Amino acid sequence: MPTRTLKDKVVVIGGASRNLGGLIATEIAAEGPKLVVHYNSDSSRDQAERTAARCEAAGAEAITHQGDLTKVAEVERLFDAAHKSFGKVDCMVNTAGMVIKKPMTETSEEEFDRMFAVNTKAAYFMMREAAKRLEDGGKIITVVTSLLAAYTGLYSVYAGSKAPVEHFTRALSKELFGRRISVNNIAPGPMDTPFFYPAETEDSIAYHKSSSMNGELTRIEDIVPWVRFLLTDGWWLNGQTLFINGGYTTR
């Protein structure tokens, strides 16, 4: 049993309507936290509400909140909503992200700007706002990608827009010394979710699978225990990127 629990802790989860963010919310709900289930657009509203309902059924308190995290004012509104409902924020987990796969020579300015807005800017300001709002002893976790340790083409703007988050994490973790707030990244391998498949072909999917120790993609169920660990007993880990990927890449 964990010696540090999430009972009554307020956890803001970016991108929590479905996939990894949704599973994190529902899996930690039994520990009795107060959850803010963020979602991006109207198309995700129903899924976010279903996630919140499952969390409450498992024993958590939960609210939903819509916001475009590429806009700093909406990041601030997300934390405002947490404070309004629960009076504080203890932890932030950001799973929001976006991927494209194409040669650098075919990447448009619009695609570049959008990828950096979602994967870099939103991550930065989620971390910044968490640092301003979290109670001492809090936790900040951002999901990046195992491609940060890969030597490969075609993901230049995706992996490139995730790469700065490692530096943000190291810098912020150092800046928060004295407050007992840990700041870490989790870098999954290619995950078996709808987020992954549109950018891939049958051949590339087979290659990704062959690069793990059991010939499978990373499952979101493989990642959640590590998030829970960082939120509880893993508090002493700080400023790190954990490559949770079955050996897909190492560093």
* Strand arrangement of the beta sheet that strand 182-188 belongs to: 61-66, 34-39, 10-14, 89-94, 134-143, 182-188, 241-244
Question: Which pLDDT belongs to residue 1?
Answer: 46
Just list the catalytic residues: 158
Residue identified by tokens 């075919």 is: 106
Instruction: Report the distance separating Cα 212 and Cα 216, nearest Å.
Output: 6
Query: Which among 109, 203, 186, 116 has a CA at the least distance from the CA of 148?
Result: 186
pLDDT at 3 over 60: yes
pLDDT tens figures, 80-89: 999 999 999 9
HSE-CB for 97 with a 13 A CA cutoff: 29
pLDDT tens figures, 29-81: 999 999 999 999 999 999 999 999 999 999 999 999 999 999 999 999 999 99
The token duo for 220 is 């979101």
Question: Which pLDDT belongs to residue 197?
Answer: 84
pLDDT tens figures, 206-246: 989 999 999 999 999 999 999 999 999 999 999 999 999 99
What structural domains does the chain harbor?
A: 10-244 (3.40.50.720)
pLDDT at 25 over 80: yes
Q: Which whole number is the average pLDDT over 173-191?
A: 97
HSE-CB for 138 with a 13 A CA cutoff: 24
pLDDT tens figures, 95-122: 999 999 999 999 999 999 999 999 999 9
Q: What is the CA radius of gyration of the chain?
A: 17
